[in-house]
């Protein structure tokens, strides 16, 4: 069927065209079918139909399809196309039938090329959420994710990397781990994410200090120059399938286990990592509620690493409380810089960073067995880590002379006070994140929360438990109102409950 | 956040708005989240984000949202909205946790109101495909589907209805069953579908004779006037959730079992049916491959009917061959009209129609037990069924004096010939449907296939096995080429295979 073209200047994340219902019936295609567009560029697209958006004889092109045309004044020949091979692969996942390596590769490529509809993608996510995947399938998925994007090959080895499973507020340790490891002569090209549901990802934090958007080639160059990089993975085209899957997982609030494994390891594989440490915070409001589950996840990550030729160690860490006392990009950067400058700062942050960095130093041969943490702490104390951080900041285009006190935090602040004398006995990570987000984090870099009293600490009535920071007054009010209304920080005296005796007066 | 409005004149089947990424970050919302739009009409919509389609400060409205605004020159106040309650219900289906009746009602209403994204809908379909549903959930789903659309209440009872599970080509029996039942004084307001993957649904067929698009009120009036109606369900707003679910099921080629039950019975419940017969064709290329599965389906339909206060009987029928010898709207109408006019026609069509009609006559009290089929055949023979069909055609706005020979079929024809003497031993329903569709059915009413030799029949080399009809020459050629290339009709002599003896020459 010959159709003239009409352009709808809207990106919808899939190759889609709009047919008048009359033309669709004449072609014998239904919404969700595909058509092939013959022309100087031959491509296929998913059909949607309309009574009135395009007239008969016209093909409406959404932006992703339109981009393929140079000469769109000419009519095109449109024919029904076979169902995408990927859809039959998705059907296999729905039916819990094994998929082959080639099939998974085709599927991942179609995901990256935006050749699949939301309906198809969601069926894949939902099926793998319900049925899981075999070890082979996870390996093939990971390999396909690596191959469908940019990869970096370094001339020197080993390449080090770390990853933290999310869920803990204030987990700013990469700002310390990367310079410690690089200061000891190892290469660590760290790509990080921006927060989606959190108060600040490492990329959001680092952006307070310098640009974080680089191509994978630039990441390579930065790393080769100064030993470490702290960049936003989303700009690199490394394992790009991940972002396409997150777009579908997010509205369903799911993160299918085996896809999480594949996504983590694909990013490590794509930069050619030899040695990887995965930080697995365990606690009721993290992604991993129990140590048992942390151990299973560890085994699965180590096993997958082995299949991919990577040396993986996992660190199961305490995840019931924030790391350090600051949550939100600028506040966290300040806290981390202060540690680099003077070792001043919360124990939880210094200890955890040194432990993780220490494992990496041992794996990379820069520290003898069992002495990694000690050397990591020494790297901090000596100022070498600060020196390295300055080099990284400068190489990424920031000001290397920035001091922790120079980092601007939100000018509007308000406190939450203890309602009684006693001890902080409940403290909800999710609540902290929500307050920080309401105050503007991660978009408003200066917004966040400073925690004065953590779980188990003694307070007196009227003490400030936390301070909320915001860049905009109305956001501060929003956050404060919600904080006061929903306050889950329970302060109780040491006497939690009096249990009366059974026999008369005691 | 105050935003001015921009209208994208595109329907996308969901309430969606487009935010610039900067505004989305400022609001703290991600793609897939919802925002509430405050204005004289307060409503919520699913967020998509863009770098460049709308500038900061502007909210792009797709058509479904735009429709809610009278005064769209004024800026609106946009705030983040809570996740839809339906999404948590979908999450329950994903996790195979029981849902309550209220939750299912909320979900179905959101489906009908197009408040859910394709991602969410597909997660629901995929989950119920994988996990199935409990009897309670199916009942509640059916009730919610009934309540979310129009319902018809007749003053007289009983109300009769029939439904055929799809998959058999040429299953035109409603064109005979409805007039037979109505001619015996019973009310039968039959809503039917158009073909999606078939060569012609009952609505496509009836449309050859008269209009089929009526409101549910008009269906009631037609039925009260002449006892029967044969209309397209899609125009009535009866159980409208079904079409929204089919839009998602179709690209995945799935028809989750329990949703099929609910969809069938919701349409019956909505018209107030008291007695229903379900025709379940069983055969390798129908939806129900074995008699065992047909029996399970029967039990489930009868059970669901009981829960809804409907009397259901099921008829497991032979589905390995087409019903009658014609496939495609006009060809099928011709064949059915000829039976009504003169009882001339294939046994398979007359027998099946009379059997199904007979059960309905018995259920409705218009025939004594075990005499329904006999009375149905008598109704055909006496011309009363033809008389009733003419009344229905006239009441729906068609020409009651139309004769079978007046029905125009495609002028372009071609034959498929037997390649040898022998017997037709294989005959594939799906292939017949594919050829009829390639020839133009169901859109080109005159297109289709006339079958001269069915399974088991003797042929001589050069005999025509079937004739393809088309309204357009290129479609005929398309169909013919495919038919010749893929021909699955196997003709073999009676000697199928010679098995030589074991010991020397015999």
CA distance B379 to chain A (A): 37
Which of A16, A48, A121 has the alpha carbon at shortest distance from B118?
A: A121
Minimal Cβ distance to A53: which of B9, B33, B87: B9
Please list every residue in chain B whose beta carbon sits closer than 8 Å to the beta carbon of residue A440: 28
Query: What ipTM is given for this predicted complex?
Result: 0.90
Confidence of residue A124 (pLDDT cuts 50, 70, 90): very high
pLDDT higher than 90, residue B456: no
Which of B67, B220, B68, B237 has the alpha carbon at shortest distance from B148?
A: B237
Which of A30, A43, A289, A336 has the alpha carbon at shortest distance from A174?
A: A336
Q: Which residues pair with B464 in a beta bridge?
A: B417
Known catalytic residues of B?
A: 255
Which of A269, A43, A230, A31 has the alpha carbon at shortest distance from A138?
A: A269
Q: What is the pLDDT of residues B339-356, one digit of tens each?
A: 999 999 999 899 999 999
Residue B322 and residue B429 in contact, taking contact as beta carbons nearer than 8 Å:
yes
Residue contact A251–B9, C-beta within 8 A: no
Mean of pLDDT over chain B: 92
Q: Is residue A194 a known part of a binding site?
A: yes
Which of B66, B153, B138, B129 has the alpha carbon at shortest distance from B108?
A: B138
Please list every residue in chain A whose beta carbon sits closer than 8 Å to the beta carbon of residue B248: 119
Residue B33 and residue B53 in contact, taking contact as beta carbons nearer than 8 Å:
no
Span between the terminal Cα atoms of chain A, in Å = 95
Taking the domain B2-81, which CATH number applies?
Answer: 2.40.40.20
Confidence of residue A40 (pLDDT cuts 50, 70, 90): low
Residue contact B125–A123, C-beta within 8 A: yes
Confidence of residue A373 (pLDDT cuts 50, 70, 90): very high
- pLDDT (0 to 100) of residue B504: 46
E strand residue ranges, B67-151 = 76-81
Burial class, B68, CB count within 10 angstroms (exposed 0-12 / middle 13-18 / buried 19+): middle
Buried b (16+ CB within 10 A) or exposed e, A329-350: bbbbbbbbbbbbbeeebbebbb
> Best interface-test mutation with B: which of A13, A28, A433, A434 has the largest number of B CBs within 10 A?
A28
- pLDDT (0 to 100) of residue B286: 86
CA distance A52 to chain B (A): 9
Helices then strands (H, E): number in chain A? 18, 18
Strands B160-164 and B188-192 turn out to be unpaired
Of A351-355, A370-374, A488-492, least confident by mean pLDDT is A488-492
pLDDT higher than 60, residue A69: yes
Please list every residue in chain A whose beta carbon sits closer than 8 Å to the beta carbon of residue B31: 247, 250-251
- With pLDDT > 70 as the criterion, what percentage of chain B qualifies? 96
Q: Residue B23's closest chain A neighbor by CA?
A: A443
CA A350 to CA A199: how far, in whole Å?
20
Which CB contacts under 8 angstroms, 24+ apart, belong to A345-350? A348/A318, A348/A321, A348/A323, A348/A324, A349/A170, A349/A172, A349/A173, A349/A176, A349/A323, A349/A324, A350/A176, A350/A377, A350/A380
Residue contact A122–B127, C-beta within 8 A: no
In this prediction, residues A121-142 reach a mean pLDDT of: 97
Scan for tokens 């799935």, then name that residue: B254
Cis peptide before A442 (omega within 30 of 0): yes
Q: What is the dihedral of CA A229, A234, A237, A240, to 10 degrees?
A: 130
pLDDT higher than 50, residue B22: yes
Q: Residue B251's closest chain A neighbor by CA?
A: A32
Residue contact B87–A253, C-beta within 8 A: yes
Please list every residue in chain A whose beta carbon sits closer than 8 Å to the beta carbon of residue B196: 30
Output DSSP code: residue B133: -
Q: Residue A435's closest chain B neighbor by CA?
A: B28
Q: Is residue A60 a known part of a binding site?
A: no
Q: What is the pLDDT of residues B153-194, one digit of tens each?
A: 999 999 999 999 988 999 999 999 999 999 999 999 999 999
pLDDT higher than 80, residue B501: no
Scan for tokens 């017949």, then name that residue: B432
Q: What is the pLDDT of residues A276-290, one digit of tens each?
A: 999 999 988 888 999
Minimal Cβ distance to A28: which of B8, B250, B437: B437
Residue A455 and residue A463 in contact, taking contact as beta carbons nearer than 8 Å:
no
Confidence of residue A204 (pLDDT cuts 50, 70, 90): very high
Which of B496, B481, B358, B328 has the alpha carbon at shortest distance from B416?
A: B481
Residue A190 and residue A228 in contact, taking contact as beta carbons nearer than 8 Å:
yes
Q: Is residue A263 a known part of a binding site?
A: yes
pLDDT higher than 60, residue B494: no
CA distance B35 to chain A (A): 13
- Higher pLDDT among residues A32 and B141, named by residue: B141
Confidence of residue A267 (pLDDT cuts 50, 70, 90): very high
* CATH class held by domain A160-233+268-404: alpha beta
Which of B292, B323, B281 has the alpha carbon at shortest distance from B432?
A: B323
Q: What is the dihedral of CA B354, B358, B364, B367, to 10 degrees?
A: 120
Known catalytic residues of A?
A: 255
CATH topology of domain B412-492: Aldehyde Oxidoreductase; domain 3 (3.90.1170)
Confidence of residue B486 (pLDDT cuts 50, 70, 90): confident
CA A456 to CA B190: how far, in whole Å?
70
Those residues with Cβ within 8 angstroms of residue A347's Cβ, 6 or more apart along the chain or in another chain: none
Q: What is the pLDDT of residues B186-221, one digit of tens each?
A: 999 999 999 988 999 999 999 999 999 999 999 999
Confidence of residue B363 (pLDDT cuts 50, 70, 90): very high
Structure tokens at B100: 């309550």
CA A376 to CA A353: how far, in whole Å?
8
Minimal Cβ distance to A28: which of B8, B254, B443: B443
pLDDT higher than 70, residue A63: yes
Q: Is residue B290 a known part of a binding site?
A: no
In this prediction, residues A100-110 reach a mean pLDDT of: 97
Q: Is residue A287 a known part of a binding site?
A: yes
Residue A173 and residue A324 in contact, taking contact as beta carbons nearer than 8 Å:
no
Alpha helices in A317-428 (DSSP H): 329-342, 347-363, 372-381, 384-395
- pLDDT (0 to 100) of residue B41: 65
CA A353 to CA A348: how far, in whole Å?
8
Please list every residue in chain A whose beta carbon sits closer than 8 Å to the beta carbon of residue B120: 122, 251-252
> Per mean pLDDT, which of A112-126, B71-85, B279-293 is the most reliable?
A112-126
Of A245-249, B370-374, B491-495, least confident by mean pLDDT is B491-495
Which of B75, B147, B137 has the alpha carbon at shortest distance from B111?
A: B147
Q: Is residue B287 a known part of a binding site?
A: yes
Which of A4, A11, A48 has the alpha carbon at shortest distance from A30?
A: A48
Which of A87, A78, A93 has the alpha carbon at shortest distance from A115?
A: A87
CATH topology of domain B160-234+267-404: Pyrimidine Nucleoside Phosphorylase; Chain A, domain 2 (3.40.1030)
- pLDDT (0 to 100) of residue A500: 60
Q: Residue B63's closest chain A neighbor by CA?
A: A53
Which CB contacts under 8 angstroms, 24+ apart, belong to B372-378? B375/B184, B376/B180, B377/B350
Alpha helices in A200-323 (DSSP H): 202-206, 216-226, 241-252, 257-270, 291-307
Q: How many CB atoms lie within 10 A of CB B177?
A: 31
CA A343 to CA A383: how far, in whole Å?
9
Residue contact A117–B118, C-beta within 8 A: yes
pLDDT higher than 70, residue A495: no
What is the DSSP secondary-structure string of B413-462? EEEEE-SSSEEEEE--HHHHHHHHHHTTTTTSTT-EEEES--TT-EE-TT
3-state secondary structure B186-211: CEEEEEECCCCCCCCCHHHHHCCCCC
Residue A283 and residue A320 in contact, taking contact as beta carbons nearer than 8 Å:
yes
Which of A49, A116, A127 has the alpha carbon at shortest distance from A87?
A: A116
- pLDDT (0 to 100) of residue A504: 46
pLDDT higher than 60, residue B502: no
CA distance A122 to chain B (A): 5
pLDDT higher than 80, residue B500: no
> Among positive and negative, which fits the CA dihedral B231, B233, B235, B237?
positive
- pLDDT (0 to 100) of residue A499: 66
Structure tokens at B54: 């709308």
CA B304 to CA B142: how far, in whole Å?
9
Alpha helices in B308-383 (DSSP H): 329-342, 347-363, 372-381
Residue contact B250–A12, C-beta within 8 A: no
Please list every residue in chain A whose beta carbon sits closer than 8 Å to the beta carbon of residue B122: 118-123, 126
CA B106 to CA B101: how far, in whole Å?
9
Q: Is residue A36 a known part of a binding site?
A: no
Residue contact A129–B94, C-beta within 8 A: yes
* Domain positions in chain A: 2-81, 85-132, 160-233+268-404, 412-492
In three-state secondary structure terms, B117 is coil
Residue B331 and residue B173 in contact, taking contact as beta carbons nearer than 8 Å:
no
Of B205-209, B308-312, B423-427, least confident by mean pLDDT is B423-427
């Amino acid at each position: 069927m010959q159709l003239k073209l009409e352009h709808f200047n809207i990106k919808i994340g899939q190759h889609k065209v709009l047919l008048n219902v009359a033309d669709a019936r004449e072609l014998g295609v239904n919404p969700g079918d595909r058509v092939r567009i013959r022309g100087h560029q031959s491509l296929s697209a998913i059909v949607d139909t309309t009574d009135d958006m395009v007239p008969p004889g016209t093909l409406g092109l959404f932006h992703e399809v339109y981009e393929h045309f140079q000469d769109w004044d000419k009519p095109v020949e449109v024919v029904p196309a076979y169902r995408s091979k990927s859809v039959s692969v998705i059907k296999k996942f729905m039916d819990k039938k094994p998929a082959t390596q080639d099939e998974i590769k085709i599927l991942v490529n179609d995901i990256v090329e935006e050749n699949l509809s939301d309906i198809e993608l969601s069926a894949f996510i939902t099926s793998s959420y319900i049925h899981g995947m075999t070890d082979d399938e996870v390996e093939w998925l990971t390999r396909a994710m690596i191959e469908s994007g940019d990869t970096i090959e370094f001339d020197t080895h080993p390449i080090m990397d770390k990853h933290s499973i999310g869920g803990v507020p204030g987990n700013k340790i990469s700002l310390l781990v990367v310079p410690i490891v690089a200061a000891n002569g190892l290469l660590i090209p760290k790509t990080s994410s921006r927060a989606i549901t959190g108060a600040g990802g490492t990329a959001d934090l680092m952006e307070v200090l310098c640009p974080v958007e680089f191509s994978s080639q630039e990441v390579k160059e930065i790393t080769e120059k100064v030993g470490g990089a702290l960049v936003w993975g989303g700009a690199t085209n490394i394992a790009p399938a991940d972002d396409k899957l997150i777009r579908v997982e997010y509205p369903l609030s799911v993160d299918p286990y085996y896809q999480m494994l594949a996504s983590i390891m694909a990013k490590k594989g794509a930069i050619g990592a030899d040695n990887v440490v995965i930080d697995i915070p365990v606690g009721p409001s993290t992604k991993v509620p129990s140590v048992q589950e942390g151990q299973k996840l560890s085994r699965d990550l180590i096993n997958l690493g082995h299949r991919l030729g990577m040396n993986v160690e996992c660190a199961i860490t305490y995840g019931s409380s924030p790391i350090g006392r600051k949550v939100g990009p600028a506040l966290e950067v300040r806290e981390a810089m202060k540690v680099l400058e003077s070792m001043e700062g919360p124990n939880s942050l210094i200890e955890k960073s040194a432990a993780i960095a220490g494992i990496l130093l041992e794996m990379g041969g820069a520290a003898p067995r069992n002495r990694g943490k000690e050397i990591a702490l020494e790297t901090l104390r000596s100022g070498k880590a600060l020196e390295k951080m300055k080099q990284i900041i400068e190489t990424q285009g920031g000001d290397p002379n920035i001091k922790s006190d120079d980092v601007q935090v939100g000018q509007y602040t308000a406190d939450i006070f203890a309602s009684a004398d006693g001890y902080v006995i409940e403290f909800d990570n999710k609540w902290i994140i929500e307050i920080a987000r309401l105050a503007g984090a991660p978009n408003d870099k200066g917004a966040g929360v400073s925690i004065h009293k953590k779980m188990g600490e003694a307070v007196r009535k009227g003490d400030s438990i936390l301070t909320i920071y915001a860049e905009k007054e109305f956001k501060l009010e929003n956050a404060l109102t919600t904080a006061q209304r929903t306050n889950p920080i329970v302060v109780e005296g040491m006497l939690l409950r009096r249990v009366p005796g059974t026999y008369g007066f005691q």
